[in-house]
Structure 1
Amino acid sequence: MFSALIETITGIILAINYLGILILMALESMIAPIPSELVMPFVGFLVATSKLSLTLAIIFSSLGTLIGSLISYYIGKFYGDKFIRKFGKYLLLEEAHLQWTEDFFKKNGEKTIFIGRFIPVVRHIISIPAGMGKMNLTKFVIYTLIGGTIWNTFLLFLGFILAENWTLIHKYSFIADSIIIILIAVIIAWYFMHVSKAFKRHKNNK
């Protein structure tokens, strides 16, 4: 499966170059199972062998990240509330959580979006709650571009340095990502239990 994924990603980039980078990074920002840890190091390898331009590679990867994030943002903005009303009860979520999300992104949106670009899993989904929270669009675009560009460029340069061994980046990042994902899962579980108890106390006090 891993080798098939590598073949697909490298095949797309080799076939349509910068457009392929843009499409793959857009999909990566839309919960698609396409790891940037495979896309950008391979791009770095191609830059190292003078098959791609460093500047254009960074520009198109950043545009892809932004486009995918904006699509997710608008999905959250226009359909997030409907999803919560219909399925929220199965996830221990209530409509009041929408107001909490909106307040959270008004206060912490910039740093959440920026930091989220460097965290596995989070960077795939963070744009949806940002849309649900109606985060200021201009700030969302700016911090998505800054965080996304830094992350993409970092991976590109790792691929540039490792050259033919660029796949090692995904191998070792997978281990680190797995540990982080477990920690995130624990935090999310704790959060839902904590918030649910808080809402129950709030209701009982009314």
Structure 2
Amino acid sequence: MDIDAVLNYFASYGLTLLFVIVFLEYLNLPGLPAGIIMPAAGILASRNNQSLILVVFISVVAGVLGSIVLYLIGYYGGAMFLDKLGLKFPKIEPTIRKSSTILKEKGLFGVFLCRLLPVLRTIVSIIAGSVRMNFLKFLIYSTPGIFLWNLGFIFTGYFFGDVFLK
């Protein structure tokens, strides 16, 4: 799918589309990646004089809510869920191990670090839940990482979108 098609979807569905796609991406579901959607949201925000703050806020709320769902899956499904995930998708097993290692070595700061790394940023929620990390602390360390990741993509579209469209 090209950027023009994504922009047309945004013209039709607006920030609701951004929320849904980012939420689903933070659930680690396949589909249209937020790495395409968030810059497109930034482009449209700049073209339509929309608030950059509002666009980033909606993406962060969607990311946090998706992360909460995965945290709860990890909390209640724990190691059993991670084992089944690793068996069903063998390529993700090294990612699960790497995310677990970062959490063990860095603790809560590891949650923040994982939020800034592709793939690890969504898996870390399940692992944090499975090790019964304090929920409030999980949110406190997740939110800034989600904010920085999303801001980077949206900011790029907002300020440099015309370069992509030429």
Normalization by structure 1: what TM-score?
0.63
Aligned to 1:113: 111
Q: Distance in 1 between matches of 2:55 and 2:11?
A: 13
Query: Given the alignment, which residue of 18, 25, 39 partners 1:28?
Result: 25
Give the counterpart of 2:129 among 118, 131, 146: 131
Give matches, 1:1-206, under 5 Å.
2-3=1-2, 7=5, 9-33=6-30, 34-83=32-81, 105=103, 108-166=106-164
Give the Cα separation in 1 of the matches to 2:51 and 2:162.
18
Q: Which sections of structure 1, spanning at least 5 residues, go unmatched? A: 92-100, 169-206
Deviates more, 1:70-79 or 1:109-118: 109-118
Q: For 1:58-85, what per-residue CA distance to the aligned partner results, in whole angstroms no more than 9, with x for missing partners?
A: 1100000001111111111111233367
Percent of aligned positions that are identical: 29
Residue 30 of structure 1, CA deviation: 0.9
Once the 2 structures are TM-superposed, how far is the Cα of residue 107 of structure 1 from its aligned partner?
6.8
Distance verdict in 2 for CA 1:160–1:106, change over 3 Å: same
Task: Tell me, in whole angstroms, the C-alpha distance in 1 between the residues paired with 2:128 and 2:11.
Answer: 34
For residues 140 and 13 of structure 1, what CA distance do their matches in structure 2 show?
Answer: 32
Determine if contact 2:72/2:129 at 8 Å carries over to the other structure: yes
Root mean square deviation, CA, Å? 3.0
Structure 2 CA distance for aligned equivalents of residues 49 and 116 of structure 1? 32
Moved more, 35-44 or 105-114: 105-114
Q: TM-score, normalised by structure 2?
A: 0.77
CA contact (8 A) 2:22 2:63 kept: yes
- Cα distance in 2, alignment partners of residues 85 and 49 from structure 1: 46
Aligned length: 155
SS at match of 1:21: helix
Over 3 Å counting, the alpha-carbon distance change for 1:127 and 1:165 in structure 2 is same
Q: Is the 8 A contact 1:13 1:20 kept in 2?
A: yes
- 1:122–1:84 distance in 2 versus 1, CA, 3 Å: closer
1:114–1:144 CA contact under 8 A, matched in 2: yes
What is the Cα deviation at residue 26 of structure 1? 0.9
User: Structure with the greater relative contact order (CA < 8 A, sep ≥ 6): 1 or 2?
Assistant: 2
